[in-house]
Copies of this chain bind each other. A is one copy, B any other.
Amino acid sequence: MFKECSLNDLSKMDISETEIKNDKLHEECGVFGIYSPSGGEVSKDVYYGLIALQHRGQEACGIAVSDTSGEKGNLKLKKDMGLVSEVFHKEDFSNLKGNIGVGHVRYSTTGGSVVENAQPIAMNYIKGSLALVHNGNIVNANELKEKQMYRGLAHYTTTDSEVLAYEIIGDRVNSGSIEEAIKKSASKLKGGFAVVVMSPRKLVGIRDPFGIKPLVLGVKNNFVDGKGEQGSLFDNEKFDKHNTYILASESSAIRAVGGKVIRDIKPGEIISITSKGITSDYDLCQEKKAHCIFEYIYFARNDSVMDGIAIHTAREMAGRALARKSKVDADIVVGVPESGIPAAMGYSKEANIPYVQAFYKNSYIGRSFIKPTDEERRDAVHMKLSVLEDEVKDKNIVIIDDSIVRGTTMKQLIIMLKQAGAKAVHVRISSPPFLYPCYYGTDVPTSKQLIASKHSNEDVRKNIGADSLEYLSIEDFKYMVGDLQICKACFNNDYPV
């Protein structure tokens, strides 16, 4: 059992940067695809689109572009470990010429953190070059991979994305079109996935039938009205080949490159963008959906709209629900920057307790931490966040965060607040306790590291030193996402696949 936390623990509470990072769940990817049928250069839009999706993966990134008017197989590729702004430099773009392109940002677990596993996966196959970007996790990848190996295939990477690419290429030999090959391959897949495939003359997107992973369609350029309304563009309605069409993990990436959001890709939809128009195949669609609730809780950008729900509204509503369910008599509400702030504002409004910006976040902290040796551990939380003392002194405080994984960061923040003179610190979490692993592409610590999966609520409260600790209930998700069908397996062990 945990011992209770006290102020004397400060000196032992040094937390490394890695521990801060590991105290959050991690999305595994962001995808971006773009096609300008009438020509022009798309690589810079891919670049800026990836910058806008950088929060979905910071380990590796890549861009592949091609020219649909050139010979089949003229693909240009660059990918490497690092942030988008670290990997790509001005001079790279003179080598990345083309009017069709895909890009990817990647987060991965330690083992597979090598450049070979970066995406796009790009190969030459029977029909020319193919580049594929993938967000999600194929649960049955190993079965498919083994079958591929018995056919004499070999794998350069250890990713399920390469397995998927080979499956599509293998099916392409006997298919009339790339869309048919993708459908055939997709029908064999289990798991959550949002994929964009660039073939010599087409940009094809697919989303898993449950809609676990997001994918959005957008358009850029010759749109006339400036009002930002979302259009439909099902099956060539209003298609204009002088426009540039975009598929991206989040709506904010489309807007960041000056584009307009059209609509979400439907779960199970295969959408094909060619110079002739946009067409969709819905054969894989099904009744049951299971949109990942963690996109709404934490992953997605606060300014994105996903499957019809504005992310920041969902988060504010979670805060309001939390206030109704777990009100506390406090002087101020504070949020843990940045992810806890929207819910904190909702809590503040619903509970009618003033919201106060009690933490300062150093935006230059980036990758600045020197790897600590045994002798010199660094108080990374302290470097990243500091407390505005006179805002919290002698106050009863409600602190809101979106989730607790290991609890190390929250423990440190409570010590900092109490050292600054806070009378009481009540913790409210705008999601339920995280208890079960995710099989669909979210990097989850082992359950041993999930503080809530091993300890009672009271034990956790004591360990982090909070005066009270309450969570959003699973039932309250309805206030966040209405009647959207969601996957909440990590909270209730009910897996859709």
Binding site for B on A (CB under 8 A): 7, 10, 44, 47-48, 51-52, 54-55, 58, 77, 83-85, 88, 90, 93, 116, 122-126, 130, 149-156, 158, 165-166, 169-173, 226-228, 252, 255-256, 258, 301-303, 310, 312-313, 338, 341-342, 345, 349, 354-355, 357, 360, 362-368, 370-371, 376, 378-379, 382-383, 386-391, 419-421
Contact = CB atoms under 8 A, between A and B. Distances in A.
B364 A51 contact: yes
A341 B357 contact: yes
Given A85-B366, A165-B154, A169-B154, A226 B52 contact: no
A310 B388 contact: yes
Contacts of A90: 370-371
A379 B357 CA distance: 30
A154 B367 CA distance: 37
A332 to B, nearest CB: 12
A221 to B, nearest CB: 11
Contacts of A165: 154
B256 A48 contact: no
Nearest to A53: B364
A155 B123 contact: yes
Contacts of A166: 152, 154
A7 B225 CA distance: 11
B152 A130 contact: no
A255 B388 CA distance: 11
Contact of A303 (B227, B258, B367, B386): B386
26 contacts: A44-B370, A47-B370, A51-B362, A51-B368, A77-B116, A85-B366, A90-B370, A122-B156, A123-B156, A124-B156, A124-B158, A125-B154, A126-B150, A126-B152, A152-B166, A152-B173, A153-B153, A154-B169, A227-B419, A228-B419, A252-B386, A255-B386, A301-B360, A312-B391, A341-B357, A345-B357
Contacts of A155: 123-125
Question: What's the dominant secondary structure at chain A's contact region?
Answer: mixed
A45 to B, nearest CB: 10
A421 B90 CA distance: 36
Contact of A355 (B154, B342, B355): B355
Contacts of A345: 357
A46 to B, nearest CB: 12
Copies of this chain = 4
A52 B362 contact: yes
A365 B154 contact: no
Contacts of A386: 252, 255-256, 303
A151 B154 contact: no
Nearest to A420: B228
Given A386-B303, A391-B312, A419-B226, A252 B360 contact: yes
A370 B124 CA distance: 30
Across the A-B interface, give the 3 residue pairs with the lowest CB-CB distance, nearest first. Answer: A152-B170, A303-B360, A123-B154
Nearest to A302: B360
Contacts of A84: 364, 368
Contacts of A362: 51-52, 54, 256
A38 to B, nearest CB: 17
Contacts of A383: 48, 51-52, 256
A341 to B, nearest CB: 7
A218 B258 CA distance: 48
A44 B52 CA distance: 33
A48 B378 contact: yes
Contacts of A363: 55, 338, 363
A166 B123 CA distance: 14
Given A226-B7, A419-B228, A85 B154 contact: no
A445 to B, nearest CB: 24
Contact of A258 (B7, B93, B313, B382): B382
Contacts of A420: 228
A354 B349 CA distance: 9
A378 B341 CA distance: 30
Q: Select the residue from A77, A149, A354, A371 with max chain B CB neighbours within 10 A.
A: A149
A81 to B, nearest CB: 13
A224 to B, nearest CB: 12
